[in-house]
């Protein structure tokens, strides 16, 4: 298995998402661009989207 590793130090703030396929560090600006419809949600992997929804549901259900 290989993974692309990118230096995102200049893209802060960012989120760390512990998905089923590993840890992902994603700039908040990228998440916001998906929310705003500027980027397709397909830019995020399915495990990342699943984890984001899971954590959101836990917060709104508490």
| pLDDT tens, position by position, 28-59 | 999 999 999 999 999 999 999 999 999 999 99
pLDDT the model gives residue 49: 94
Pairwise CA distance, residues 62 & 58, whole Å: 6
Q: What is the band of 5 on the pLDDT scale with cuts at 50, 70, 90?
A: confident
Assigned token pair, 32: 């916001």
Domain residue ranges in the chain: 14-61
Q: Do residues 41 and 50 make contact, with C-beta atoms less than 8 angstroms apart?
A: no
Model pTM score: 0.76
For residue 60, how far is the Cα from the chain centroid?
18
């Amino acid at each position: 298995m290989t993974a692309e590793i990118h230096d995102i130090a200049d893209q802060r703030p960012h989120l760390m998402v512990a998905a089923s396929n590993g840890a992902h560090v994603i700039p908040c600006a990228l998440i916001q661009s998906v929310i705003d419809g500027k980027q397709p949600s397909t830019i995020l992997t399915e495990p990342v989207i699943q984890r984001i929804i899971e954590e959101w549901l836990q917060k709104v259900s508490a």
